[in-house]
Chain A
Amino acid sequence: MSHERLEHHEAEATDRAMFGFWLYLMTDLLMFAILFGVYAVLHGNAIGGEEGRHLFSLPLALTETLLLLTSSFTCGLGMIAARLGKKKQVLTWFGVTFVLGLAFLLLEIDEFVKLIDEGQTPQLNAFMSSFFTLLGTHGLHITIGLLWIAATLGYIMKRGLNHHMVRKLAMLSLFWHFLDIVWIFIFTIVYMGAFV
């Protein structure tokens, strides 16, 4: 195979892989949508506990939103660097993304622990069950994303930035942007919605 044909072949393989990953994201979107639906139906049933407005902190939710939004941005910058083959920049930008994502996750875990300490456990009522399910699922995705970033960065440090790694990073950034979009709706419906 000539060099050009090989490159064409590579590009097609990447397109196929990205499409497959996109299909996965769409099924994930369906799952999140259903969890949002469940939350929308059940969030009023806070019997035996406090309502959302007495539990949530808007500044905290805003901080989490800004962390995740900024991490989505730095992830995009890292992706540009990856396509230009700039390994050092890739490590920097995705490193920043990892740190911001980790800060987000720690804030979320801290919020969960405080809620449970106050007796607002998932078993308490339907509101808390749907809240923990929705946010827990998102948090789990973030955790997986963080592990994925760490593993990919470790791989790039060891083996360098090649075609396959750029493809992996492209999927990773797609995943990360997707989680940011899901969070926008959590911020809007769960947190801000509680104060309407």
Chain B
Amino acid sequence: MNKKQSHHGPQNEHGTVQSYVIGFVLSLICTFIPYYLVVEKIVTGNTLLATIVVFGFVQMLIQIVFFLHLGRGPKPNWNLFFFGSTFTIVLAVVGGSIFIIHNLNYHMTPSDKIKKLLNDENIQQIGGADTGVCGQTYESHIVTIKDGIVEPLQTEAKRCDTLTFVNEDEVEREITFGEHEDHEAYAGEIELPVTRGRNKTITLSEEGLYRFHDHLDPDISGYFTVQSK
């Protein structure tokens, strides 16, 4: 046995009961602290994520030292060398991939993602197609434009009601929202062309007071207010 011990150097590479107990207790601490932080929501968001990941790495180091006894074998320590190189590859390949794909993901907007955005932003329709934000529509309100006069000038509505613009004139109207030349989108609509004698309907999915006007004839304008149900 003496020969074997001298071969392996003065340090004990296999660990003792004591080292396993220390490793076990430290691992438990590194399990319970992040668990407590997550359950109690003491910190949130990226701080919390960073904290629990750091605890994960600390626990990995603890187990590598106290359970795997890495770095305590005969010299030169090829195990440690290989672990180091593997870890470097992991950081480069996995870390790099996550970074790149996250970036790509951020810049792409597949249709499902658009749908989620529409829901978050309460946009009911895009280009006349229903997005399904309002499960159903309730009352219908009508704004008539005849001889260049908007009737009624102001419409009071509740969320998820519909508003129909009726154009009874012989010219095309381009209903836009916001002040003239300073347009804003309402419910995903930027501009609502209504040809002569026709009408267009929008669903009132955004709450607030809004102004609309005919982009081709800005004097023709009116308001509508949308209150919550």
Same complex for A and B? Answer: yes
Interface on A for B, CB 8 Å cutoff? 4, 7-8, 11, 15, 18-19, 22-23, 26, 29-30, 33-34, 36-37, 40-41, 44, 47, 58, 62, 65-66, 69-70, 72-73, 76-77, 79-80, 83, 174, 177-178, 180-181, 184-185, 187-189, 192-193, 195-196
Picked from A76, A181, A184, A195, the residue with its CB within 8 Å of the CB of B15 is A76
- B209 part of interface (Cβ distance < 8 Å): no
Chain B residues with Cβ under 8 A from A70's Cβ? Answer: 24
Contact A11 B78 (CB under 8 A): no
Interface centre among A7, A30, A72, A73 (most CB of B within 10 A): A73
Chain B residues with Cβ under 8 A from A19's Cβ? Answer: 78-79
Contact A58 B35 (CB under 8 A): yes
CA distance A44 to B110 in the complex (A): 13
Picked from A30, A58, A188, the residue with its CB within 8 Å of the CB of B56 is A188
Chain A residues with Cβ under 8 A from B8's Cβ? Answer: 11
Interface centre among B45, B64, B68, B78 (most CB of A within 10 A): B68
Per-position 1/0 for B1-17, Cβ under 8 A of A: 10110011000001111
Chain A residues with Cβ under 8 A from B98's Cβ? Answer: 37, 40-41
4 closest A-B pairs by beta carbon, nearest first, are A188-B56, A37-B94, A33-B90, A76-B20
Chain A residues with Cβ under 8 A from B78's Cβ? Answer: 19
Beta-carbon nearest neighbor of B61 in chain A = A181
**Given the known A-B contacts A8-B4, A192-B52, are A73 and B63 also in contact in the complex, defined by CB atoms under 8 Å?**
no
If A177-B68, A181-B60 are given as contacts, then 20 extra A-B residue pairs at C-beta distance below 8 Å, sorted by A number, are A7-B1, A8-B4, A8-B7, A11-B7, A15-B74, A19-B78, A22-B82, A22-B83, A23-B82, A30-B89, A34-B93, A37-B94, A47-B112, A62-B31, A62-B35, A69-B31, A73-B23, A177-B63, A192-B34, A196-B38
Beta-carbon nearest neighbor of B98 in chain A = A40
Chain B residues with Cβ under 8 A from A180's Cβ? Answer: 63, 67
Binding site of B, secondary structure by majority: helix, strand, loop or mixed?
helix
Chain A residues with Cβ under 8 A from B119's Cβ? Answer: none
> Closest CB of chain A to B114's CB: distance in Å?
12
Q: Which of B1-55 contact A (CB under 8 A)?
A: 1, 3-4, 7-8, 14-17, 20, 23-24, 27-28, 31, 34-35, 38-39, 44-45, 48-49, 52-53, 55
Beta-carbon nearest neighbor of B4 in chain A = A11
Beta-carbon nearest neighbor of B97 in chain A = A37
Chain A residues with Cβ under 8 A from B28's Cβ? Answer: 66, 69
Contact B35 A26 (CB under 8 A): no
Beta-carbon nearest neighbor of A29 in chain B = B86
Contact A72 B56 (CB under 8 A): no
Contact B45 A196 (CB under 8 A): yes
CA distance A187 to B28 in the complex (A): 13
- B229 part of interface (Cβ distance < 8 Å): no
Chain B residues with Cβ under 8 A from A15's Cβ? Answer: 73-74
Per-position 1/0 for B137-161, Cβ under 8 A of A: 0000000000000000000000000
